[in-house]
Structures are given as structure tokens and as C-alpha cells.
Amino acid sequence: MATMELTKVLRFSAAHRLMSPALSRVENRRLYGACVRGHGHNYALEATVRGVVDADGMVMDAAALEQAMQTVVDLVDHRDLSRDVPALAGTVTTGENLVATFYRMIDRALPPGRLVRVAVVETENNRFEYEATGEAP
Amino acid sequence: MATMELTKVLRFSAAHRLMSPALSRVENRRLYGACVRGHGHNYALEATVRGVVDADGMVMDAAALEQAMQTVVDLVDHRDLSRDVPALAGTVTTGENLVATFYRMIDRALPPGRLVRVAVVETENNRFEYEATGEAP
Amino acid sequence: MATMELTKVLRFSAAHRLMSPALSRVENRRLYGACVRGHGHNYALEATVRGVVDADGMVMDAAALEQAMQTVVDLVDHRDLSRDVPALAGTVTTGENLVATFYRMIDRALPPGRLVRVAVVETENNRFEYEATGEAP
Amino acid sequence: MATMELTKVLRFSAAHRLMSPALSRVENRRLYGACVRGHGHNYALEATVRGVVDADGMVMDAAALEQAMQTVVDLVDHRDLSRDVPALAGTVTTGENLVATFYRMIDRALPPGRLVRVAVVETENNRFEYEATGEAP
Amino acid sequence: MATMELTKVLRFSAAHRLMSPALSRVENRRLYGACVRGHGHNYALEATVRGVVDADGMVMDAAALEQAMQTVVDLVDHRDLSRDVPALAGTVTTGENLVATFYRMIDRALPPGRLVRVAVVETENNRFEYEATGEAP
Amino acid sequence: MATMELTKVLRFSAAHRLMSPALSRVENRRLYGACVRGHGHNYALEATVRGVVDADGMVMDAAALEQAMQTVVDLVDHRDLSRDVPALAGTVTTGENLVATFYRMIDRALPPGRLVRVAVVETENNRFEYEATGEAP
């Protein structure tokens, strides 16, 4: 009985800026650098499920995983993450915070215990990843 | 003493279709979607070995790993995986089942305990991965 | 007045084999090599239109170009090009013949004179391209 | 005497939205689709120069080309192209308009007649390209 | 409290050759194959840190990670790794040995316990990776 | 009768350095920058042929094109281009000079008039390309 992982990748294009309301303009600039200015990315969203391969040769229905991810993409694609996405309101849109939010959304849409990892890739040089540890991110 | 991983990647182009003889046409279509039709991919096969770095600066002879993987590629490259590959006869050629089969073939060709992970990448959006857990997949 | 080009890329996964009914098995094998066997690819379809940039800042409506290309993709995605696509019946499915067929289909769906180039990319090592010269391919 | 082309690529991340002040909200939405909303991309900027290979084996000083391109990138990287870039004020930030603007800026910074082509790649599926024709874009 | 990973990637171009002074010419050739000859790569250097996401939404200051990696890149970029880099003197420049050296250099430049993984990618087909195990590589 | 282009891509890994014997050390350094030091790349070699599509659906025998390119790759792969390749002796190994040399070698190995373009890609940010104009490069 093989324990296998399936990873799917979806892409979206969004704007964001890093600015914390708890910090002064100078502190924001020192902390987040050029990212305090409005800019954007072609993001990749990767989600991984794990499980035993069933009689149909699958870890889980890949269409169900894609649907759970697409729900996230529909909320963020061609949006400004720092202004126009209610699920991210009050969140500084760092890659880390995006991953945590997306993990919770995808996890809720899947059978318990299947989702093991979510990653957000901002550019080919920046990757953020959360791996399940038994507690919510 | 460093414990290190080496991953090699080989590529092949193959046709396949997902259709289980145990299921009706309607059930196959519901389960596998458009994949019930004959289609194909440029696949990537990734294999990872782990070990202590020896005096020559290597985890293991990379040529031996490549040779073990090439044996698999020679069986599947420019083939229809669902009809023309004896090693896959009777197997629904999902990514999960391909990984399990390829893992066993590569593992047998290497010294025991060296192979730790095999992945099959169907498209840039679909990745299947098996990680060794002490039992055969 | 700028003359500009816009290129869009769509992807599809398909099976094919190269075998000419006009040739013997031996001749086919000598001519097409391993491609006489059923195999497949993740193809990219690229189409380029050219024109003057209009007052809206566009060469042409990108959605119209995408729609014309999608019509092609709907016919070939998750299909066996050598057996299941009526538009390719009687055609040896070389990259060259695919490009010529796809060019004619996309060109018919666009305003006259806008399409200037179509390419089919079989693998990262094989690219086929047709550039308009005033006569149909 | 070889006539050769050299192409350099630089990357930047920026936000933008497509909205023409000359059009109503409904017309903008119909024309530009989801791009009327603020979003962003990891852009690639490609510039090509052509010339005879000199005694040093170069078409032109690659550092000079890179410097001319970097001047553009410094203006647009980590910016909102539709609000924060004076050189783009009053311009709908379609790929076509970006290319035309960037072409003029790079061309002015190079010896006359060397720049032959500039491309802006928005995503792996959208490419905009201007090729010199003897007149300014 | 999420435990998150951040991975950054930097690139450099370097020459190297694999030749052990402890071995004869014939033995080197048998062991390292064509790599005994001087050649080179566009390398990617990947470094991953892990931690709890802080109030600013970050695992750690990404600029500090990049600075630690840049120190390595400054030593090796546009160099011959087998002759011109003091930090690698006496080391056969296999991917495994490069990773071990780079891991120690980056680890020393970061707060203790944050660095968890370093990878060196030689080509799209060869990847070397060291994951922290509590002892130095 | 379609006129079509076929492009094949092969890859090789090589070392090089840019240093002209006609120049002083200071002049070399000013002209070629960091490239005066020994370094290396994963190069891509692209060659394009053009022609009418024949009855077999091909512009030309793709295996013949690949063989002509492989002859070049065999001379340069896992070599130091600036020291170990007789065909490049006396040549400063800029991308421009590499393309010119490779073009002549591939052109000689093909039927006259078929080769129309050769490119050498040093990194994802540097591309050198020669297009046939009726005279040798």
C-alpha cells in the first residue's frame, strides 16, 4: 500500500503592497523595503495532498483538489490583494500570510487530513511554503 | 559527515489513457474525465538518492543512478503506456501508479536503501511523488 | 503609429504517431524513427497577430485571438491526433503539418491579414513555425 | 562580416490596471475584461540590438545595453504602472503601450540605429513585441 | 502559530572540473567521466529558512537571508571553482561538496537554527541538496 | 505549399573566459568586465532550417539537423572553450563569435540554403543570434 503525494499548481496575477497599519511610514519602509510600494506578481499556488493509492490508482480525486484551489484563485486573480480581497482584510500580504490563509481555505474544502502542504511562489526567486504539522497555520 | 541528497531528472514522451477494465464507460468517464481519451505528455522522471558524502565527494555514482533511470525511460519513451509497455500491463496509468512502478524498478537496480524518492511530472501543473517509508510502494 | 505584434500561448496534451499510409512499415520506421510508435506531448500553440495600436492601446482584441486559438485546442486537447481528430484525418501529424492546419483554422477565425505567425512546440527541443507570406500554408 | 543580434532580458514586478478615462465603466469592463481591476505581473523586458561584430567579438557593449534597460526597470520595478510612473501618465498600460514607451526610452539611450526590437512579456502566455521599421513607435 | 519556510534563489555562472589529487588520471577519468575536463554551469543556489511567522508576517527578514547568500555568490560568481576560490581550496568541486561548503557559510551568517536546507542546481537535470539534521555538514 | 521553419535545441556545459591577446590586462578588464575571469555556462544551441514541407510532412529530416548540431556539441560539451577547442583557437569566445563559428559548422553539414538561423543562449538573460543573409558570417 503506497503512500503517495499529488501536487497541483494553479497560477494567478495579482497586485499587492506590504504595509502594516501598526507601523510608521519609516518603519514600514525599513522593514519591507521596495515592497511598500504597490506592485504585483504572477503567483503560483501549489497544493499537495497525501494518501494511500486507491483501487482507481489515485490518491484522491484530482478534480476535487483543483476545485478547492480554484475557489482561492477566483478570489485573488486579477485583484489587489492588499485592498480588494475580503478574506485578506487586515492582513499584511506577505508570502507567509498568503500561504497561511490559502492553506486554511483549501484545507476546509477537502476531507480532513488530506492536505499536507501549500506553497506560494511570488517570483522564480521567492517561495513560501507551509507544511501541515497537525495544528492549523 | 553530511547526509546529502542527489536528484537526477530524465525526460520522456509517451501516450496514455485512463480507463479501468473494472468500470463501465460511464463510470470511467465520471472518474477520469477527459483522461479517458487517448492523449500524451512530455513526462519528467525524477529520482533522489540519499547518503553520506564519500571521500570522492559523492553521495553515490551519479552514472549508476542515471543508468537505473535510463532503463525505465527505455521502456516507456515514445510508447503508449496503456498498451505497449509490458511492465504496466493491467495497470491504470495514473501518475500515482506510474510512480509506484518506476520506484520499484529503480530501487531494484540500486544498492539497498539508497533510493528515497521518485516523482513523475505529467505537466507543469501535475506532480506525483512517492517517498520511501521502509516498505515497498 | 506603431506596428506591433501580440503573441498568445495556449497548451494542450495529445497523443500522436508518425506513420504514412503511402509507405511500408520499414520505410516509415526509417523515416520517422521512434515516432512511428504511439507517444505524446504537452504541446504549446503560439499565435501572433500584427497591427497598428488602436486608441484603446491594443493591436486587436486579445480575447478574440484567444477564442480563435481555443477553438483549435478544444479539437485536439486530450485526443490522439493521429486517430481522433477529423480535421487531421489523412494527415501525417508531423509538427509541420500540425502548424499548417492550425494556421488555416486560426486565420479563418480572425479578420483578414491579422495573423502573421503560428508555432507548435512539441518539446523544449523541437519547434515548428509558419510565417505568413501572403499565401495560405 | 557577420550581422548579429544580441538580446538581453531584465525582469521587474509591477502592478497595473487597464482603464481608459475616455470610456465608461461598462465600456472599460467590456473592452479590458478582468484587467480593469488592479492586478500585477512579473514582467520580462527584452531588448535586441543588431550590428556587425567588431574586433573585440561584440555587436555592442553589452553593459551599455543593460544600462539603458536598467534605466527603464528602475522607473517601473515595484511600482503601480497605472498610477506611480510619470513616463506612463495618461497611458492605458496595455502591453502594447508599455512596449512602445520602453522602446523609445531605450532607443534614446543607445547609439542611433542599433536597437531593433523590444518585447514585454506579461505572463508565459502573453507577449508584446515591437520591431523597428525606421520610424518611431 | 504557523511554522513556515521561506526559500530564496540566487544564480551564478562558474567553471569547475572534478579531479581528485589523491587519484591517478585514469582513476579520475573512470570516477568523474567527462567532468574531469574543465567546463561550467549556470548554477542556482537555493537556501531555505524555517520559523514562526512574526507580527510583521515574516519568517525572517528576507533581505538578511539574501545578504547571507549574496556573500557566497560574490565569492563564486564568474570564477573557476576548482582554482580561484580560496574557500574551496583542496575540495573536489562536486555538487555535494559545494552544498556542504555553502551551507556552512550561509548558516554562520544567520541566527542559529534558522537555516534548514541548501540546494545547488547544476543543470535542470542535476540537483544536490543538504537538509539540516542538527549537526554541521 | 507551405514554407515552414523547424528549430531544434541542444544543450551543453562549458567553461570560457573573455580575454583578447591584442589587449592589455586593464583593457581586457574594462571591455569584458567580470567575464575576463574563468567561468562557465549551461549553453543552449538553437538551429533553424527553412523549406517547403515535403510529401512526408517534413521541412527536412530532423535527425540530419540534430546530427549536424551534435557534431558541434561533441566538440564543446564539458570543455573549456577558451583553451581546449581547436575550432575556436584564436577566437575570443564571446557569444557572437561562438554563434558565427557554430553557424559555419552546421551550415557545412547541411544541404545548401537550408540553415537560416543559429542562436547561442548563455543564460536566461543573454541570447546571441545570427540570421542568414546570403553571405557567410
% residues pLDDT > 90 (chain F): 93
How sure is the predictor about D3, in pLDDT bands with cuts at 50, 70 and 90? confident
Contact status, residue D35 vs residue D93, Cβ threshold 8 Å:
no
pLDDT at C1 over 60: no
Neighbours of chain F (3+ CB pairs under 8 A): C, D, E
Model confidence over C68-126: pLDDT tens digits?
Answer: 999 999 999 999 999 999 999 999 999 999 999 999 999 999 999 999 999 999 999 99
Is F78 an active-site residue? yes
Residue E134's pLDDT band (cuts 50, 70, 90): low
C3-13 pLDDT per residue, tens: 899 999 999 99
pLDDT attached to residue A2: 58
How far is the alpha carbon of B33 from chain A, nearest alpha carbon, in Å? Answer: 9
User: Of all helices (H) and strands (E), which one includes residue C6?
Assistant: strand C3-16
Confidence class for position D84, pLDDT limits 50, 70, 90: very high
Residues F71, F72, F76, F82: is their CA dihedral positive or negative?
Answer: positive
Model confidence at B1: pLDDT above 80: no
pLDDT at B2 over 60: no
Instruction: Give the CB-side neighbour count of residue E117, counting CA atoms within 13 A.
Output: 15
CB-CB under 8 Å, D91 with C4: no
User: Looking at chain F, which residue has its C-alpha nearest residue C20?
Assistant: F56
F99 shares contact with chain D (CB less than 8 Å): yes
Closest CA to D95 of D135, D62, D137, D66: D137
- d(C-alpha C35, C-alpha B67), whole Å: 23
pLDDT tens for F6-32 read 999 999 999 999 999 999 999 999 999
Predicted local distance difference test score (pLDDT) of residue F136:
59
- Other Cβ atoms less than 10 A from the Cβ of B6: the count is 25
- At B132 the pLDDT is 84
Q: F95 vs A3, which has greater pLDDT?
A: F95
Q: What SS3 string covers chain B?
A: CCEEEEEEEEEEEEEECCCCCCCCHHHHHHHHHHHHCCEEEEEEEEEEEEEECCCCCCCCCHHHHHHHHHHHHHHHCCEECCCCCHHHCCCCCCHHHHHHHHHHHHHHCCCCCCEEEEEEEEECCEEEEEECCCCCC
- Tell me the average pLDDT across D70-86: 98
Question: C41 — contact with chain D (CB < 8 Å)?
Answer: no
Three-state secondary structure call for residue E7: strand
Residue D96: closest CA among C65, C53, C7, C64? C53
Using a CB–CB cutoff of 8 Å, tell me whether F42 touches chain E. yes
Residue B30: φ, ψ to 5°: -65, -40
F 1-40 residues with CB below 8 A of C?
A: 1-10
Whether the predicted interface score ipTM is above 0.90: yes
The reported pLDDT for the residue numbered B134 is 62
What's the confidence (pLDDT) of residue F133?
A: 75
Q: Region E114-125: what's the mean pLDDT?
A: 97
pTM, two decimal places: 0.96
Give the mean pLDDT of F74-94.
Answer: 97
Q: A136: which DSSP letter? A: -
Per-residue pLDDT of chain A in tens (137 residues, 90 and over written 9):
458 999 999 999 999 999 999 999 999 999 999 999 999 999 999 999 999 999 999 999 999 999 999 999 999 999 999 999 999 999 999 999 999 999 999 999 999 999 999 999 999 999 999 998 766 56
pLDDT of residue B128: 98
The residue from A41, A122, A124, A131 that is catalytic is A122
pLDDT class of B3 with cuts at 50, 70, 90: confident
The answer to whether the CB of B103 falls within 8 A of the CB of B130 is yes
Model confidence band, residue B135 (pLDDT cutoffs 50, 70, 90): low
Q: Single out the residue of E123, E134, E37, E30 nearest to residue E80, CA to CA.
A: E37
Option in D31, D127, D137 nearest C7 (CB): D127
- The reported pLDDT for the residue numbered D134 is 63
**Cβ atoms within 10 A of the Cβ of F12, count?**
19
Cα–Cα dist D79/B46, whole Å:
39
Kindly name the residue from E66, E122, E131, E135 that is annotated as catalytic.
E122
Strands A79-80 and A3-16, how do they pair?
Answer: parallel
- Residues 45-64, chain B, touching A (beta carbon < 8 A): none
CB contact under 8 A, A57 and B31: no
Q: Would you tell me how many other CB atoms lie within 10 Å of the CB of residue B135?
A: 8
- Phi/psi-derived region of residue A101, left when phi > 0, alpha when psi is between -120 and 50, beta in every other case: alpha
Query: Letter for the amino acid at C54?
Result: D
Confidence of residue E37 (pLDDT cuts 50, 70, 90): very high
Q: Identify whether E122 is a catalytic site residue.
A: yes
Cα torsion through E23, E26, E27, E32, rounded to 10: 110
Query: Would you call B70 an interface residue with chain E, using a CB distance cutoff of 8 Å?
Result: no
Rounded mean pLDDT of E56-77? 97
Residue of B12, B36, B42, B84 to mutate, interface with C, max C Cβ within 10 Å? B42
CB–CB of F91/F84 below 8 Å? Answer: no
Cβ of B80 under 8 Å from any chain C Cβ?
yes
